[in-house]
Structure 1
Amino acid sequence: MTITPQASGNGPRVTYGGVVYPAEEIARGAAYELFSAEEAPGFEWAPGSGAALPWRRFVHATEVTVVPPVAEPGDEAESPLLVPLHRERGWAYVQRLSQQPAAAGDPTLAAVRASAVVRRGTRMVKVLSARQLAGYVRGWLPHGFCHREHDVAHLRTPSATAVLRTDGADGPDGADVTYALRWRAADPADYDVPVGGAHRGLTALAPRDRLGGAVLGTGFVPSSAQLVPEFVTRDFADLPMPANATLLAYPADGVEVVLYSYQAEQRGWLRMAGPQWRHLLAAVPGLSPDQEYVPTGEAPRSTRLVDWRGVPCLVLREESGWLRLRLRRPGPDAVAETGAQCQERGVYETWAPASEITDDRVVDLPYAL
């Protein structure tokens, strides 16, 4: 179990908005929790954080002007998001630009997006609904849209993480808690930036054919206030679940609770949360809070690619002469031709008769370790 530490005299002191606050690092310095003895703009009343400093606020590291070194020994710091600014084009201008599909090729926006780099070992995060959490405990693998933890570490409450959800819901599932999957990237080649080319079809899908926010084609999350780069697994394929991946919960007070940790030897999830946190699983359908781990299937060692009705797909499983397919290049024509249904933002799946499949091939994707 992991929770956000309370303010202490040994923690860093950071300058935010011209005021120095005691703080605690979050996600190895990607964000900070600030504490104040008095009410301040943007701070929330949280007496549980400490009687002397009952006001607190979460901010990204880029919003703090003076910080101590943030990288832990042996843990390489992530590359920050670099935004070229000047008097006429400030942060607000770049943020607005990121929300305009027509600006996908803008040089300034492209430079900002290129600064968000995934390397081997980068911590990736996917915000989940209760239904999705249940799916991952039962064997789902990382796929679809996701983000670098470094870019979203300041978004920790259910209301704040709503912008990152992929299931089409705007808020928590009947309880004031949100969930997330966190894992380390094994290879940068596993991730694509959803900009132009193969992802152009996603930007053209009608609202009735999608879940979650629209894909803008700029490489950034649709948001009125945030500038968050987004990634998608290459071809929307499943990735192997890395050892020590974690399933997390974030209650309304913003603490981080580790619910489960993935144990590669057992191919299952070891329960980490103590009894005081198991109520956070009440909204998860069909999951017992007392369950130690749920064995999952073998990690994929290869990817099976096929075409159906001229649409490139990958095979998820086969049952009685039928194949469960996921579209590799979703778009209006591909969705209409296959009748694929949107499972989450950007992820479209359908069933097809195995006898109608063409161009069936297996691609091995080994990691150079």
Structure 2
Amino acid sequence: MNVTGQAESTAQRTGLRVAYAGAVYPAEEIARGAAYELFSATEAPGFEWAPRPASALGWRRFVHVTEVTAVHGATRSAEPAEAPLLVPLHRERGWSAVHRLAQQPGAADDPLIATVRASATVRRGTRMVKVLSARQLAGYVRGWLPHGFCYREHDVAHLRTPAATTVLRTDGGGRDGADVTYALRWRAADPGDYDMPAGSAYRGLTALGPRDRVGPAVLGTGFTPSSNHLIPEFVTRDFADLPMPANATLLAYPAEGVEVVLYVYQAEQRGWLRMVGPQWRHLLAAVPGLSPEQEYVPTGQAPCATRLVGRYAGDEYEAVADPPDGFRVLALTRAAQYPVDGVSRRLRLAAWRGVPCLVLREESGWLRLRLRRPDPDAVAATGAQCHERGVYETWAPGGEVVDDQIVDQPYELDGGPVPTLHGRSGDE
């Protein structure tokens, strides 16, 4: 039986039923109740034909939990629920009016839009998602870290096919005939790692024209451009790389609408362990430079990459995040994986030609920089190129870069604020 058929059998076995658009359908839960796959024996508005072997339920549709009116037979998740997007509606301003307003760049400072957007929050342990092209997937397998635009899984769990996930892509490509789309999913280590791309801090990004950007325009309202969905978007703060948490996953979504786990990140081994079985390895055929038969892929991360540093027994160690459980010393042996007393995200900052930047790596006296607040003037001054939506990078001679420093951004642990670890200059 294929994976989709298994989902249907699960729905029939558990008796899960979902009320939607005036009818009740057998259903399968997605992302701990953030969305549902509905099954029907007859055609219904919005349902697509997806026949399964030995099944009379040949029609299906994916819906977000906010679209359903009742759920019968669901089991309660042990995890805390994500904060839902709250939209205050009344007769004079319905959902359609709010959606239209959220799609207007001039509405970034509208109190209603600000209130709606502020209701979508990130906590420690929130599952975040970044939709990837085949080229981007290859980059993450080889050592890229989470950065740039991303989403809460809770808000996009109903987008399960290559056609549906097009709205979430950051590489500038549409569906371009692909029969599979990819994604990186990880748990947030700290809410302070994320920012909403809204308000005055991002007006420069909204001012960049089509010739200077990749992907859809940034509206500045904190919502992704979409004619059908109201999806809150996030960016990593300052567009910085985030250390890869333990057990992050690389996923594939083929046209069948199933979720296939391709790889799981092994933090101590600094690599990706292949999880996909033989029946799905053809999904990796389009990924450049990656063998579907390779069981383990080391990342080969550059030494300048962002990393976590923690304190244990008065000494400093490289740390790893394993949210929501916490942080531990990065060590190969389990006996040495002590929980840390304090932890910070360490990154390297600098300025070039008056533009604040992140330092990604250093090669032969040149620095690879990423703009922290892209705008037309900064892009023109540095000659930075847009590599994906909102992410602008360039090379600079090391001798021209100023204010080069390594900065520690502390996290809070459950016991309260974490003491700030010492900062150092970039020359040390």
State the TM-score, normalizing by the size of structure 1.
Answer: 0.96
Alignment equivalent of 1:351, drawn from 375, 378, 395: 395
Does the CA-based 8 Å contact 1:28-1:71 persist in structure 2? no
Secondary structure at 1:28's aligned position in 2? coil
Are 1:60 and 2:64 counterparts? yes
Alignment equivalent of 2:275, drawn from 235, 251, 272: 272
Are 1:316 and 2:360 counterparts? yes
1:327 aligns to what?
371
Instruction: Report deviation, 1:366.
Output: 3.6
Does the CA-based 8 Å contact 2:147-2:236 persist in structure 1? yes
Does the CA-based 8 Å contact 1:28-1:70 persist in structure 2? no
Does the CA-based 8 Å contact 2:185-2:250 persist in structure 1? yes
In structure 1, what is the Cα distance between the partners aligned to 2:175 and 2:55?
30
How many residue pairs were aligned? 367
2:298 aligns to what?
295
Does the CA-based 8 Å contact 1:27-1:149 persist in structure 2? yes
Are 1:104 and 2:132 counterparts? no
Alignment equivalent of 1:44, drawn from 35, 45, 48: 48
CA 68–326 in structure 1, closer or farther in 2 if over 3 Å, else same:
farther
In structure 1, what is the Cα distance between the partners aligned to 2:246 and 2:15?
30
Alignment equivalent of 1:91, drawn from 91, 95, 98: 95
Q: CA RMSD in A?
A: 1.5
CA 240–72 in structure 1, closer or farther in 2 if over 3 Å, else same:
farther
Task: Kindly report which structure 2 residues correspond to 1:255-270, keeping only aligned pairs within 5 A, or say none.
Answer: 255-270=258-273
In structure 1, what is the Cα distance between the partners aligned to 2:17 and 2:73?
12
Instruction: Report deviation, 1:333.
Output: 0.3
2:147 aligns to what?
143
Instruction: Report deviation, 1:175.
Output: 2.9
Secondary structure at 1:337's aligned position in 2? helix
Are 1:124 and 2:168 counterparts? no
2:425 aligns to what?
none
The structure in which a higher percent of residues are strand is 2
Aligned residue type for 1:66: A
Are 1:188 and 2:191 counterparts? yes
State the TM-score, normalizing by the size of structure 2.
Answer: 0.83
Instruction: Report deviation, 1:50.
Output: 5.9
Does the CA-based 8 Å contact 1:29-1:71 persist in structure 2? no
Q: Tell me whether 296-305 or 59-68 shows the greater mean CA deviation.
A: 296-305
Alignment equivalent of 1:367, drawn from 411, 417, 420: 411
What is the aligned-residue identity percentage?
78
Instruction: Report deviation, 1:74.
Output: 2.9
In structure 1, what is the Cα distance between the partners aligned to 2:405 and 2:13?
60
Instruction: Report deviation, 1:49.
Output: 7.3
In structure 1, what is the Cα distance between the partners aligned to 2:71 and 2:251?
27
Instruction: Report deviation, 1:282.
Output: 1.0
1:206 aligns to what?
209
2:288 aligns to what?
285
CA 269–364 in structure 1, closer or farther in 2 if over 3 Å, else same:
same
Instruction: Report deviation, 1:291.
Output: 1.1
Alignment equivalent of 1:74, drawn from 65, 73, 78: 78
Aligned residue type for 2:68: V
Alignment equivalent of 1:25, drawn from 29, 47, 62: 29
Does the CA-based 8 Å contact 2:162-2:178 persist in structure 1? no
Secondary structure at 1:42's aligned position in 2? coil
Instruction: Report deviation, 1:68.
Output: 4.7
Give the number of the structure whose alpha-carbon radius of gyration is greater.
2
Secondary structure at 1:289's aligned position in 2? coil
1:303-324 C-alpha deviation (Å, 9 max, x unpaired): 1100000000000000000000
In structure 1, what is the Cα distance between the partners aligned to 2:74 and 2:135?
35
Aligned residue type for 2:183: A
2:256 aligns to what?
253
CA 327–11 in structure 1, closer or farther in 2 if over 3 Å, else same:
farther
Does the CA-based 8 Å contact 2:117-2:232 persist in structure 1? yes
Are 1:341 and 2:385 counterparts? yes
CA 327–181 in structure 1, closer or farther in 2 if over 3 Å, else same:
same
CA 9–244 in structure 1, closer or farther in 2 if over 3 Å, else same:
same
CA 192–27 in structure 1, closer or farther in 2 if over 3 Å, else same:
same
CA 69–205 in structure 1, closer or farther in 2 if over 3 Å, else same:
farther
Does the CA-based 8 Å contact 1:175-1:283 persist in structure 2? no
In structure 2, what is the Cα distance between the partners aligned to 1:255 and 1:102?
38
Secondary structure at 1:97's aligned position in 2? helix
